[in-house]
Amino acid sequence: MSIGSRGLGAVAAVRNYFPGVLASLIVAIAATFLSEHYGGPVMLFALLLGMAFYFLSQEGRCIAGIGFASKSILRVAVGLLGAQITIAEIMKLGAAPVVTVIGAVILTILFGVLAARIMGLSRPFGILTAGAVAICGASAALAISSVLPKGENHERDTVFTVIGVTALSTIAMIVYPLIIALFHLDHAAVGVFLGGTIHDVAQVVGAGFSVSDETGNVATFTKLLRVAMLLPVVVTLSYVFRAHNVGKAGRQLPGFLVVFAALVVLNSMGIIPESVLAVIKNVSRWCLVTAIAALGMKTSLKAMADVGGRAIALIVAETVFLAILVLVVVVWKV
C-alpha cells in the first residue's frame, strides 16, 4: 500500500469515527461538569448520561465512533493507568499488607466464580464482578471486560458492573469508617482496611482522610497496590480466555498491558517528569470517562433491567466477602 493510499485510509477512518467519538467526549465533559459542581462519581454520571443517548448507537453516523471509544480508547486509558503506580510506593507498605492485598484479590475472584456458579450465572460474569470489587472498581471492570469472551450480554454486564461497584463504593466510603471504628484499631490498620476493601480510588481517599492523615496515606498506598494487581490479573485472564479471542491478538500479551507495565517501571525509575506524569494521568482519566460514556450509549435501560436480582446479590456478596476477609486479617494482626 502506498503512502498516499494509507493517508486516504487514515482520513476516511477519522471521518468514520469522529462523530461517535465527539458525542462520547461531549457526554464525558457534561459528566465531569456535573461531578465537579454537584458532587458524585463522574463515572456514574457518564454512564447514566450515555444511556440517555442510546439511540445514537443504533443508527446514524455515530455508531462506528461509539464502538471505537468503548474499545480502543478504553484500552488506551487502562494502559496509561500504570503512571499512577511505583514499585517504591508498594514496598513502603511492608510485607504484611502486600500479602493481605494479593490474597484478598485472589480469594475474592475465586469466591466470585464459585458464587456465580451457585447462583446460575456465567463464569465470566463472576470474574468480571469479583475482579472489579477486588481490584479498583470501574477501571478494573473495563480492563477485565476487554479480555473476557464477547458474549451476547457482554456490554450489558460490563455497564451493570460499573454501576454496581460505583454505588457500593460510595456506600462503603460512608459506612466502613463507622464500622472499623468499633474495633479501636490504630490509624495504620484502619488505612489498610479502607484501602483494601473500598472499590474506587476516590472513595478510598475520601474515607481514609476523613479518619486522619496517616489513615489516608496508608489507605491510598494500599489501594494503589490493589490497582497494581490489575496487570497480573488481566494478563492471566487474557491467556485463560485466549481461545475465545480471534486472531493473533488473542495469543499474545495485549498492547495496553505492555504500556501499563512499562509506565510502572519508568515511573518507578523516576524517568518520567512530574509535568509529563500529570498529563498522562489527565489523559487517562478523560479516556476512561469518554469510554464509559460510549459504553453507556451502547446500553439500553431494558437490557439493564434484564440483569436480574441474582446479579445484584452476587456483587453485594463479593463486596461483603472482601470486607470480612480483610477485616479478619487486620484484627487478627492486632
CA dist 63 and 59 (Å) reads 7
CA dist 3 and 7 (Å) reads 6
Predicted confidence band of residue 21 (pLDDT cuts 50, 70, 90): very high
Nearest 10 degrees: CA dihedral of 77, 79, 80, 81?
A: 90
Phi, psi of 247, rounded to the nearest 5 degrees? 80, -170
Nearest to 165 by CA among 201, 133, 139: 133
User: Under a CB-based contact definition with an 8 Å cutoff, are residues 156 and 141 in contact?
Assistant: no
Half-sphere exposure of 296 (CA within 13 A, CB side): 28
Nearest to 126 by CA among 321, 322, 311: 311
**What pLDDT is recorded for position 320?**
96
Least confident range from 45-54, 157-166, 234-243, 279-288: namely 234-243
Q: Is 85 helix (H, G, I), strand (E, B) or coil?
A: coil
Considering only residues 81 and 251, tell me which one the structure prediction assigns the higher pLDDT: 81
Q: 310-320: per-residue pLDDT in tens? A: 999 999 999 99
User: Under a CB-based contact definition with an 8 Å cutoff, are residues 216 and 36 in contact?
Assistant: no
Average pLDDT, the chain: 83
Extract the C-alpha cell encoding 3.
503512502
Q: Which residues are CB-neighbours of 180 under 8 A, at least 6 positions away?
A: 190, 193, 194, 327
User: Under a CB-based contact definition with an 8 Å cutoff, are residues 74 and 48 in contact?
Assistant: no
CA dist 334 and 326 (Å) reads 13
Residue that is written with C-alpha cell 490504630 in the block: 186
Distance of CA 118 to the CA centre of its chain: 25
CA dist 241 and 245 (Å) reads 7
Predicted confidence band of residue 225 (pLDDT cuts 50, 70, 90): confident
Q: Which residues are CB-neighbours of 200 under 8 A, at least 6 positions away?
A: 41, 43, 136, 137, 138, 139, 165, 166, 169
Q: 254-278: per-residue pLDDT in tens? A: 677 678 788 888 888 888 888 998 8
Residue 32, amino acid? T
**What pLDDT is recorded for position 7?**
59
Nearest to 319 by CA among 104, 153, 148: 104
CA dist 40 and 204 (Å) reads 14
**What pLDDT is recorded for position 246?**
46
CA dist 71 and 291 (Å) reads 7
Helix H or strand E encompassing 262: helix 255-269
**Residue 16 burial (CB < 10 Å; 0-12/13-18/19+)?**
middle
Per DSSP, 72 falls in state: I
Nearest to 108 by CA among 279, 305, 326: 326
- Tell me the whole-structure pTM to 2 decimals: 0.69
Residue 103, amino acid? G
Extract the C-alpha cell encoding 75.
484500552
Residue 85, amino acid? I
